[in-house]
Structure 1
Amino acid sequence: MSIIKTRATTDRVVVESFLGGGDHRTLADDVLDGLTRPFKELPPKHFYDSVGAELFDRICELPEYYPTRCEREILATRSGEIASLTGAGELVELGSGTAAKTALLLAAMHDAGTLERYVPIDVTESMVRASATRLVEEFDGLRVHGIVGDFERHLDRVPPSVDRVPRIVAFLGGTIGNFTPGSRRRFLRTLARLLGPDDFLLIGTDLVKDPKIIEAAYDDSAGVTAAFNRNVLNVVNRELDADFVPESFDHVAFFDRDREWIEMRLRAQRPQRVTVGRLGLRLTFAAGEELRTEISAKFTRERIEGDLAAAGLELVDQLTDQDGLFALNLARPGT
């Protein structure tokens, strides 16, 4: 795997990109694999083109969508505790985005006098650079080592911690719920390999609750989530010369009570034939046939403890918002 580009923006910011040259799984791979299965599906990472990212920002502000609001509340009220308990001088964040919520934890580490470095990992280079520039201006002495890459494929590019200071590896937003149980435990084992004996994992999980609350968060009354879901078909059309008609698919979101996860799907309103030109692929959809675009598992304390234990980690504390809807789980290598 080769570095496509490495560039020091300032003496306090380094951004390395590892995307390109076939180093990451492409949309074409996922379409060819997922849309030729007996039950069609696409991974949710393809939601986030520029339009999808804008729609998701709107979703996060909707009254029905509690996860972002609740996680922000926890970080606003408990970051000082996390900084004190961990003594961390470094924060590594997977899927860092704009680092808006993360800045709350960085501020607490700065106030504790321990903050040395932030290592954001994201697929969007412009976002990594923008957040790095903003944060080094906000926090005196902070250094940023940005990684532009896929956090499922490029964790081996995370640099060693600075002078072995304790680090927090953060995976926020409930994204861990997008993994199926077996894949989730494998991924947690990968994260565990980033941790030394004095390091911590901070992981956001949506909690099991009244299914009506969960379903409303993924099927809002304004239809923003429906537009977000259908937009993945626009992505396939644009990037792979396909001829999906997004308006001919209904947005479906439901809570699977047995598996305790939410599923988002797109349901064909009528029989359809779709061509994916760049792949030479012809697809058929029966009336009512569904394409799964996301699962999002919800957690009990016992479930996250079991998943962490399978990765050799132990739960230190579980911090929740005042309504008990969402949790930040602090874990460390098991003794």
Structure 2
Amino acid sequence: MRMLPYAAVMRAVLVVNPQATATTPAGRDVLAHALASQVKLDVVETDYRGHAMAAAAQAAVDNVDLVVAHGGDGTVNEVVNGLLAAGGAAEARPMLGVVPGGSANVFARALGLPRNPVEATHILLRALEEGRSRRVGLGSVDIGAGQHRWFTFSAGMGWDADVVADVDRKRGKKASPALYARVAAARYIRPGHSRPDLTIEIPGEAPIEGLRLAFVSNTDPWTYMGTRAIHLNHGCSFETGLGLFALRTMRMPTVVRHISQAFSANGETKGKNLVRRDDVAKIIVSAAEPVRLQCDGDLIGARTRVEFTSVPGALAVAI
């Protein structure tokens, strides 16, 4: 646990996504007022994709102490990528604060934060008052051409990334568990394109070929459907390496079996068509044809080779 600077002299930036599912002008104002009572605060409202990343990167350049993300997982992911864009020592980076404002809020809930923004704000304020923080590991994605992308809870290649792409195209609709479920079912029934086989390489193991999808987790749960957690790698946490969940077939019995297991209370996943690993330092996924990639529910694009790396203790979170 790292002791934070005395809150009254901290400099902070609040990054708000006004388009997120559960953010409102009134909620933004309450949050800003509460934070301003303890820190020297600037507020940034995002109005384009990448704005949160740019704001967080500028905050890091300006040596701000704390950046608070108020929005969904996409906003949090952008802020995290902005904070880490300049590299350097983990201890020198601004801390992250999170107040949920999206539909799933996977990263915040995996940290133990409540879905209610007011309750989460109270926890953040107490952390500042008491000097509490938690250092968490992150996943780093090498997407080629010297480009990297960080993810906080999950990344995937194949079916889930196709679903993210389809939801992206429905931007006029509010993201919700029901929307994702409908899109996932439609994409499963009508893939829209061939699904090339994936090959996975893990240090110390022979390459695993003939896989149909690959999910990489940085924590557990993998995601939520409303109040229900979906567990793919129950042994995964912010203090361990990455988790891998991959399937050799997308046939209906296999998919139904593993969806049922993922919704179970103990999150135990097993089966002859499943390849699962926990606490892995590095995972390489490749394919003969480009396959879509998503990180924290944000579509990155199609790639033929992606390298996922666990980075322990990459970021401090005020909690």
Does the TM-score normalized on the shorter chain lie above 0.5?
no
Higher helix share: 1
Q: TM-score, length-normalised on structure 2?
A: 0.29
Q: TM-score, length-normalised on structure 1?
A: 0.28
Higher strand share: 2
